Amino acid sequence: MKRFFFLLLALISAGLFVRVAYLVLASPPDPAFNAPNHEAIVDHLNHLFRQAAYSITWAIQLGYLAWLGLKWRAEKQMDGRRKN
């Protein structure tokens, strides 16, 4: 059960990385300075990149948590084998 939880965390982390790639690659290009609705487009871009920043932060943190959990589980199993 614990292993499933840690693998689920790793999959969520990978999904967040995919979301970041989508947000960055699918965002529209920077508009010209004199383009109509320049401020609205720039605000939208800022919002997309803020979402990408939060997503990458969560992806790194959840990935690290999953890695620590899997390492902890492996150490616990090795410790049980040494006692026997």
Give the pLDDT confidence score for residue 55 in this predicted structure: 94
pLDDT at 84: 64
Q: Where are the domains positioned within the chain?
A: 2-83
Kindly give the parts of the chain with pLDDT less than 50: none
Helix/strand/coil (H/E/C) assignment for every residue in the chain? CHHHHHHHHHHHHHHHHHHHHHHHHCCCCCCCCCCCCHHHHHHHHHHHHHHHHHHHHHHHHHHHHHHHHHHHHHHHHHHHHHHC
- The predicted pLDDT at position 56 comes to 94
The pTM of this model reads: 0.74
Predicted local distance difference test score (pLDDT) of residue 63: 92
